[in-house]
């Protein structure tokens, strides 16, 4: 039994109700849109006032904190575009606070500027090493401070726009999933399964991040596949298959402009390749198929088999793995990866597998893991 490539549902089209004219949303005032927010963290009022005076000529929204804990409370509530902090502060040093901010997902992309009157290259190194983006020595030259801050804010705007573009892509991918109520939650589970397998293989954090994103983005190209093909009831014609297969290449081209998704592209393009070269779109075979694509493919098949669809019930984890093994014997899947995946399924995904010695050759599993890890280190 092969994995169903197409979700087959009876597609009912209902008459769309007459649309009411939509009142335009109130526009946010220009000044509110355009003013970046700067948070100054300094224990001395004199220093804060001095910096405010330097920045007065620009239309910034300035927030102030006297200590890191106060700054953290503000950062929890406000959207801040830049933090300017002193090297020496109560509670935490500047570098320690920088480290804390860079470790927090909510604040990690906010640029940090350290100001200090303490001379010494070792302070500068410690500051930059902790994640601060810039370092300025006092006495401050007003023009230099303004220029540096403008540059940092410009960079922040670029990062924001990239983040927004990525968010839009993920929303697009979600809309693909939501076209079919029977696949709800598929992307999230897929991310979870493939990251678990990636962890078992000892993949690095960048590869795991790519798998997590790949779980959501792998089928984004289906946005271009019409409902008449995606939900076709019955076997697809050759022409329909051609359209269906194109989702891999279209998905890759949608995500290609995003540099941050470069490691996800091979997953999107190659997640329907087969070990014996009979897959699509490129007919890649064996280790010529990118490893991350092979990992995500197993997770994809497993989830498709273990969830109910209108034309089939949900299989148990054990049954799903048996089908994947049958496909491996047929030459479609990576045999060593399947061994590791079986072990993962037995331990993590499905309680019914736990404790059963369905695959009892532990040494073979260990050897497969070692082979995979050696391959990764090549
Ligand atoms: Fe796909």
Question: Which DSSP string corresponds to 15-50?
Answer: PPPPPPPPPPPPPPPHHHHH--EEEEE-S-HHHHHH
* 341 C-alpha to ligand 1 centroid (Å): 20
Domains, in order of start, for the chain = 32-160 (3.40.50.2300), 179-377 (1.10.3210.10)
* 181 C-alpha to ligand 1 centroid (Å): 17
Report the alpha-carbon distance of residue 20 to residue 116 in Å, rounded: 59
* 30 C-alpha to ligand 1 centroid (Å): 43
Torsion of CA 80, 85, 90, 92, to 10 degrees: 80
Centre a 10 Å sphere on the Cβ of residue 200 and count the other Cβ atoms it contains.
18
pTM: 0.60
Most distant pair of Cα atoms in the chain: their distance? 76
- If you compute the radius of gyration of the chain from its CA atoms, what whole number of angstroms results? 27
By 3-state DSSP, what share of the chain in percent is helix, strand and coil, each rounded to 5?
A: 55, 5, 35
Report the alpha-carbon distance of residue 161 to residue 16 in Å, rounded: 35
User: Which residues neighbour ligand 1 (ion) by CB within 5 Å?
Assistant: 219
* 180 C-alpha to ligand 1 centroid (Å): 14
* 138 C-alpha to ligand 1 centroid (Å): 57
* 368 C-alpha to ligand 1 centroid (Å): 26
Report the alpha-carbon distance of residue 300 to residue 307 in Å, rounded: 11
* 248 C-alpha to ligand 1 centroid (Å): 6
* 268 C-alpha to ligand 1 centroid (Å): 8
Which residues 6+ apart lie within 8 Å of 63 measured at CB? 37, 38, 39, 40, 74, 78, 80
Q: Give Cα 281 to chain centroid, integer Å.
A: 24
pLDDT by residue, tens only, the chain of 378 residues: 444 443 332 222 223 333 344 344 444 343 444 689 999 999 999 989 999 999 988 889 999 999 999 999 999 999 899 999 988 888 888 888 998 998 887 888 899 998 887 777 777 676 677 778 888 888 888 999 999 999 899 888 877 877 777 777 887 787 777 766 666 678 888 899 999 999 999 999 999 999 999 999 999 999 888 888 888 888 889 999 999 999 999 999 999 888 788 999 999 999 999 999 999 999 999 999 999 999 999 999 999 999 887 777 889 889 999 999 999 999 999 999 999 999 998 877 654 433 333 333 344 445 555 555 454 444
């Amino acid at each position: 039994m092969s994995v169903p490539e197409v979700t087959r549902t009876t597609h009912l089209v209902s008459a769309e109700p007459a649309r009411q004219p939509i009142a335009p949303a109130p526009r946010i005032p220009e000044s509110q849109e355009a003013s970046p927010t700067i948070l100054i963290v300094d224990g001395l009022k004199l220093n804060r006032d001095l910096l405010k005076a330097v920045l007065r000529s620009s239309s910034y929204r300035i927030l102030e904190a006297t200590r890191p804990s106060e700054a953290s409370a503000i950062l929890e509530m406000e959207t801040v575009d830049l933090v300017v902090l002193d090297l020496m502060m109560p509670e935490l040093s500047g570098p320690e606070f920088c480290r804390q901010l860079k470790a927090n997902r909510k604040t990690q992309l906010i640029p940090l500027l350290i100001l200090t009157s303490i001379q010494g290259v070792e302070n500068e190194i410690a500051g930059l090493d902790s994640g601060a983006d810039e370092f300025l020595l006092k006495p401050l030259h007003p023009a230099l401070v303004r220029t540096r801050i403008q540059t940092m804010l410009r960079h922040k705007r670029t990062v924001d726009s990239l983040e927004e573009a990525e968010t839009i892509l993920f929303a697009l991918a979600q809309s693909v999933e939501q076209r079919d109520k029977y696949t709800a939650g598929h992307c999230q589970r897929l991310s979870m399964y493939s990251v678990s397998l990636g962890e078992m293989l000892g993949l690095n954090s960048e590869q795991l991040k790519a798998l997590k994103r790949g779980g959501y983005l792998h089928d984004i190209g289906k946005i271009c596949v019409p409902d008449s093909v995606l939900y076709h009831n019955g076997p697809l014609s050759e022409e329909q298959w051609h359209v269906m297969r194109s989702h891999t290449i279209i998905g890759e081209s949608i995500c290609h402009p995003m540099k941050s998704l470069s490691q996800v592209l091979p997953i999107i393009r190659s997640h329907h390749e087969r070990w014996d070269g009979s897959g699509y779109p490129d007919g890649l075979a064996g280790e010529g198929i990118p490893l991350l694509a092979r990992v995500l493919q197993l997770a994809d098949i497993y989830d498709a088999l273990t969830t109910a669809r209108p034309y089939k019930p949900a299989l148990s984890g054990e049954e799903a793995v048996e089908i994947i093994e049958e496909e491996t014997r047929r030459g479609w899947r990576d045999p060593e990866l399947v061994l590791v995946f079986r072990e993962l399924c037995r331990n993590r995904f499905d309680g019914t597998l736990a404790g059963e010695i369905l695959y009892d050759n532990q040494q073979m599993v260990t050897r497969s893991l070692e082979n995979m890890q050696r391959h990764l280190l090549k």
